[in-house]
Structure 1
């Protein structure tokens, strides 16, 4: 009996000594970012790994688990010590069912709903919550980052695609599940083909994947660029945000033209959103948004100006303060129970 009591006492002590922690995962087209945070959102451990370029949904879930495990180890924990895990993902999220569908930029992509929450939960041994990647990132910026001074904002995540999220009068606005999809606002009727299958979407001009396709076509037609030389030197298979930034630093003509076109189209699309919603600020995040930083936030702000209906009240464009961790931190906050 004494031995049993001693074992129980050790277990209770270990439970008390383990901090309350949650895991968060930002699933992107080129990378998986995982963090472990405490109740205040402080990052205790993190890890980034490449997204399987040709992976099936099951391969992607396994990669998520491996990345989360590494982040937990960096925090001195195992995944099974986490109280919950949140995953921010692109595509159609069914939070109630824990499924993800219509994912075009991750792995080989998939259309049918896939039980990401259930499969990952079985691996980590704790509840898993799913949310839209940009919406959870915007929620994190609103609570902990660049959105703190404002009651209403539009978050724009400029990366593999162009995602958006809204906070209106202090409340995250999801509509019927697809609110904030600025990347699929049409900025040029009948324009370039988007990954969604339609023409003229903002993402068809500003999304990193679309710009890469345009760059590859240009090279096939004999245009010179350092983009793919830089990609090979870094051992990458895709044009990441850092490669675009380096090409701009080299004053590469093709990269400069494609990024300039993206900025002009962002100006058109975001100004239209501002004219409709009249929010107080735009928060710019995502791989390209955070990598290119305040200078390009200023350029986007200027590109918006000719299209703003009330120019004297044009909102600022601020770079996400949580940087590339916004999505993962926001996903972890999604897994936390409400305060109080």
Structure 2
């Protein structure tokens, strides 16, 4: 857990309205605040296992109470980064592969009722990429593909400053059909990308070789069999990036996620493999590949954009995200 109580003074009024941002990951749930489009100096982590042990809405509500009590900042809006599929109503979690207790829950409405404020949901990959386009390494880029390797695998595509959504969950590539060799982590579909290129797949490799997950890439220097498994793992990640790029034709590719930040992770090897999966010679376009600057805190920079979309009545996202605990107006129903 990281936390600081300094620089938590928030301006009074609409412009300075603080947003509580929750990044729900497969391992940890991270909390932070955004105010005036800038992160406040506060971070707090909880174990995601709390959502698996009982009612996940109650568990999240207790975490929110704990954070608000510690900071004395009661938000009007909570933005949650969801690692999975969100329904077109912007409120119901359809499927979260690594947190199945959230499946089918109307998280925005249910948590909003408990917390007494508006709760907005966004896919974690979209929120992270939005943050990097607003305050990170791709501020000067357009047509940006972001691929993130954490406990699971997610991707998002930004063009003209807006995320591409398809019918709602475009580029949720973790469940993309993918046939590969190697053991599959327990409880995962064997024929999907996440089973072979995610943090959970990496944990399975570490367990099989009896090495700590935190030092798995360094340990490969002393084990040929481990090095072979990790080489295959990196190849699968490169294929994932190549396939996502083939679908959206990005001008820039952003890579991030906890796996990429691990000690000893072979970034240069990955870059070389990705180059082999892209039509660089055919298109005569150079590879513009960048690494995430902010890590998970990119969602703090991206959260204000979710609130702006919610308030912009003419935007597609605002037509499917509604204020938690309130019925949509007849006018909004006509827009849906």
Gaps of 5+ in 2: 1-10, 314-336
**What is the distance in 1 between the residues matched to 2:226 and 2:154?**
21
How much has 1:54 moved relative to structure 2?
Answer: 6.9
C-alpha RMSD of the superposition: 3.1
231, 240, 257: which one aligns with 1:260: 231
* 2:189 aligned residue: 197
* 1:7 aligned residue: none
Instruction: Mark the CA change 1:61 to 1:260 in structure 2 (over 3 Å): closer, same or farther.
Output: farther
Instruction: Mark the CA change 1:150 to 1:127 in structure 2 (over 3 Å): closer, same or farther.
Output: same
* 1:24–1:85 Cα contact (<8 Å) kept: yes
* 2:302 aligned residue: 330
**What is the distance in 1 between the residues matched to 2:30 and 2:15?**
23
SS at match of 1:226: coil
270, 291, 302: which one aligns with 2:272: 302
* 1:37 aligned residue: 34
* 1:49 aligned residue: 46
How much has 1:172 moved relative to structure 2?
Answer: 0.7
Instruction: Mark the CA change 1:291 to 1:39 in structure 2 (over 3 Å): closer, same or farther.
Output: farther
* 2:246 aligned residue: 275
The runs of 4+ residues in structure 1 deviating greater than 6 Å are 189-192
- Paired residue total: 297
**What is the distance in 1 between the residues matched to 2:289 and 2:13?**
44
110, 113, 117: which one aligns with 2:108: 117
Pairs within 5 Å for 1:157-236: 157-188=148-179, 197=189, 199=191, 201-216=192-207, 218=208, 224-227=209-212
How much has 1:35 moved relative to structure 2?
Answer: 0.8
| In the alignment, structure 1 residue 317 sits paired with structure 2 residue 289 | yes
| In the alignment, structure 1 residue 289 sits paired with structure 2 residue 257 | no
**What is the distance in 2 between the residues matched to 1:139 and 1:16?**
25
| In the alignment, structure 1 residue 249 sits paired with structure 2 residue 218 | yes
Cα shift readout 1:178-197 (whole Å, capped 9, x = no counterpart): 21123333453788658663
Instruction: Mark the CA change 1:127 to 1:209 in structure 2 (over 3 Å): closer, same or farther.
Output: same
* 2:5 aligned residue: none
Cα shift readout 1:63-89 (whole Å, capped 9, x = no counterpart): 333444454456x433xx312011111
**What is the distance in 2 between the residues matched to 1:113 and 1:22?**
25
SS at match of 2:174: helix
* 2:59 aligned residue: 63
How much has 1:331 moved relative to structure 2?
Answer: 4.1
Considering fraction of residues, name the structure with more helix: 1
How much has 1:19 moved relative to structure 2?
Answer: 4.3
**What is the distance in 1 between the residues matched to 2:119 and 2:20?**
9
Cα shift readout 1:114-140 (whole Å, capped 9, x = no counterpart): 121122112221100011111111111
SS at match of 1:290: coil
Gaps of 5+ in 1: 1-13, 219-223, 228-242
* 2:26–2:151 Cα contact (<8 Å) kept: yes
* 1:239 aligned residue: none
How much has 1:156 moved relative to structure 2?
Answer: 0.9
How much has 1:212 moved relative to structure 2?
Answer: 2.3
**What is the distance in 2 between the residues matched to 1:255 and 1:284?**
24
How much has 1:252 moved relative to structure 2?
Answer: 5.5
